[in-house]
Amino acid sequence: MVFDSVLINIIGFTLILLLNLAVKLDKISKFMLYSFQGLWAVILFTTCFKPYGLYLPSEYCYILLLLNVFCFSLGFSIVKPKSYEFNISNDNVAFISAKKLVSNKFFLIYLIIITCYIMSLLSVYFAKIAVSNSLGEVRQDFFYENFYGPLFTYLDLLFLSPTQIIFLGLGMYCLFRYRTFPVYLMLIYMIIYSTLGAGRLDYATILMSFIFFAACLTKLNIKRFILISSLSIVVFAVISYVTNMRGIGEDNYSEAIVQGVDATIENTVTYSCGAIVAFDHALEDDYVQQMGGHQYGALTFAGVVSSVNIIAKRFGESFDEPLSKLVALKQDQRINIGATNTHNALYTFVLYPYLDFGILGVIFIPFFFGIIVRNVISKLYKYRSIWLIILANYCFMLMINSVLDFRGMYKPTSLLLFIILFFSDKLFKSRKLV
């Protein structure tokens, strides 16, 4: 069984490497595509050896996941940017557009207001921690009891979450090229937003964005290598502390970090590899039937469905959204992914296209996603807009997160933000250069 799984992955990634050799890639495309392929390769090969007692996924599961990687890579490769001359690290057009945005008085007012608001949320959050037994209990309250009030869900959907996406791109770009007071406010916002709910993956997205811009904006040398390594260690220490606090709740910071390191390493492996095993469970347990049949795009493009439902409610009509049923199916029941391991929520990105169209969804949706991502890069070379830089960073996060879940266009605001950023050359009147 293990040998068969390893062999399937070797064959699959050999085909992917042969595809790479046939394609000319620019610096940004090469970094994004190879990071995506490399992460999937590491996780898929790791699952073959059943780490921490995890179950071994079926050969069919591996084939579907390899199809996802290959088809994304194929779609990504067929788009040819018209120019490769743009260098994000020293281009004045992108720099000037970022500088103008950060210096805009309306942007500054919005930045100050939303930073003050999220700091007030943090104070409530810490007050909750002070009277609770563990961070885990507070996190459960954050998601299920909504202790910020009834408006928080809407404010998060409409403002906080989209702002985080924008700041992850804009703030990190400016951190390398234009460090001013508003840039540090954006960094404060990113850290606080990631702290709310104690979501370790949110901290990781900050590191993802930093690595993206470090790779695309700079040439790696000893000084920058030390900086990236130091930040990675700090983020790992924070995640280790949060992991420990969500468990036993050790009060001493140094001891909490030390005790959280082993748990963090184990959690990183079991969460990433566990998502593969969970997807295999969905295949074995026939989630398609449990969902009432294929959903024909209603899950992959749940943001569109949600938007239609919001409009329908204005006219006194509404309907059950398939995504709500899937979330309940994933969240409300923990499944066995090993002899002593249970799991919920994370089933890889591939679950969505599979539930929508079966194996055809696994082939065509990643293929078109690859086309969209490479088009973003192509438009970035053409228009050199800070908004397209933000979108490229967002696409990179979606690609990396695909090994765990689909964190993209299932929210109406995320879908709208994606569309706005994609057409930013027209909406924001960026200068056409090619």
Q: Is 134 left (phi over 0), alpha (psi -120 to 50) or beta?
A: beta
Residues 6 or more apart whose CB falls under 8 angstroms from that of 409 comprise 300, 301, 302, 303, 415, 418
More confident residue, 33 or 249: 33
pLDDT of residue 384: 83
Q: Check pLDDT > 50 for residue 433.
A: no
Residues 242/13, Cβ–Cβ less than 8 Å: no
Provide the pLDDT confidence category of residue 390 given band limits of 50, 70 and 90: very high
pTM: 0.89
Give alpha helix (H) positions in 285-358: 287-290, 302-314, 322-331, 351-357
pLDDT of residue 218: 73
What percent of the chain lies above the pLDDT cut of 90? 44
pLDDT of residue 248: 47
pLDDT of residue 146: 61
Kindly report the number of other CB atoms within 10 A of residue 35's CB atom.
Answer: 17
Question: What is the average pLDDT across 202-224?
Answer: 81
pLDDT of residue 429: 54
What percent of the chain lies above the pLDDT cut of 70? 82
pLDDT of residue 432: 46
pLDDT digits (tens, 9 = 90+) for 260-318: 566 677 778 888 999 999 999 999 999 999 999 999 999 998 888 887 887 777 777 77
Give the C-alpha separation, 48 to 62, whole Å: 10
pLDDT of residue 244: 58
Give the C-alpha separation, 214 to 199, whole Å: 24
pLDDT of residue 261: 63
Mean pLDDT of the chain: 84
pLDDT of residue 434: 39
Q: Check pLDDT > 90 for residue 227.
A: no
SS3 call for 343: strand
pLDDT digits (tens, 9 = 90+) for 64-99: 999 999 999 999 999 987 766 667 767 788 888 899
Token pair 């490229």: residue? 392
pLDDT digits (tens, 9 = 90+) for 348-380: 999 999 999 999 999 999 999 999 999 999 988
Radius of gyration of the chain (CA): 22
pLDDT of residue 80: 85
pLDDT of residue 144: 56
Q: Check pLDDT > 70 for residue 410.
A: no
343 strand-pairing partners? 335
Residues 356/298, Cβ–Cβ less than 8 Å: yes
